[in-house]
Amino acid sequence: MFKDMKNNLLAGALIALGLCLGGCFIYLGMSKFANKDRAVSVKGLSTREVEADHAVWPLAYAWNGNDLPSLYAQLENVTARVKKHLLSMGFEESDIRQGSISVNDNWSDYYGNHRPEYKYTLSTSLIVSTDKVQLVVASQGKEAELLKEGIIVKTERWNLDYQFNGLPELKPSMIEEATQNARAVAQKFADDAQCSLGSIRRASQGQFSIESDEYQPWMKHVRVVTTVDYYLN
């Protein structure tokens, strides 16, 4: 009888232990389920102001005439004079390339009774593609000196392209900074809510954007925004 009582007590203890463990598992499961949506979503920003490291500057010009071979020779002479002007400002031969030449037959396109004076217009450009960004900046407006030689050069501001190619080197530090800023915001939120900040639930890196300064287009504003979700405990 004593043996049976001992066995019954042992069985009861095992059952009680099983119920206790089961209750703990149920509690932990319910707590996890209840807390799975307790999270905060925050954004972190990182910005840099950098200078362009490459510039593409097209200088367009045209010449009119009635004899196509003679007109082509004149255009070549104009091209040589424009190129000489660029070299005198400090650019190198390797920085300059000639664009394509287009021909327009003015007499075939006109309407009405007033035929244009010149039959042909030849148009082309010299394109400066260089890493000497500040030299391009300093050269703006100086193409007007060609007017003294009767050469009209068009250099529209929106055709001048200042580029920044150093983004791959900036990305790691900017992403790190944006993530740190996001965590600081999340920590402040957790402190205000009187809870502790948990692990990262989900994170996504936003797109990098590069925008030109309105008044100094060779200066670039680089920014990235990361979105991070943190658990709250």
Tokens of 14: 């095992």
| Amino acid 199: pLDDT | 86
| Amino acid 114: pLDDT | 83
Distance CA 173, CA 177 (A): 6
The amino acid present at 196, given as its one-letter code, is: S
| Amino acid 129: pLDDT | 97
Instruction: Print pLDDT tens along the chain (233 aa).
Output: 544 554 554 555 445 444 444 444 444 444 444 455 688 888 999 999 999 999 999 999 999 999 999 999 999 999 999 999 999 999 999 999 999 999 999 888 777 778 889 999 999 999 999 999 999 999 998 888 899 889 999 887 778 999 999 999 999 999 999 999 999 998 888 888 888 888 888 888 888 999 999 999 999 999 999 999 999 98
Close Cβ partners of 43 (under 8 Å, ≥ 6 residues apart): 182, 185, 225, 226, 227, 228
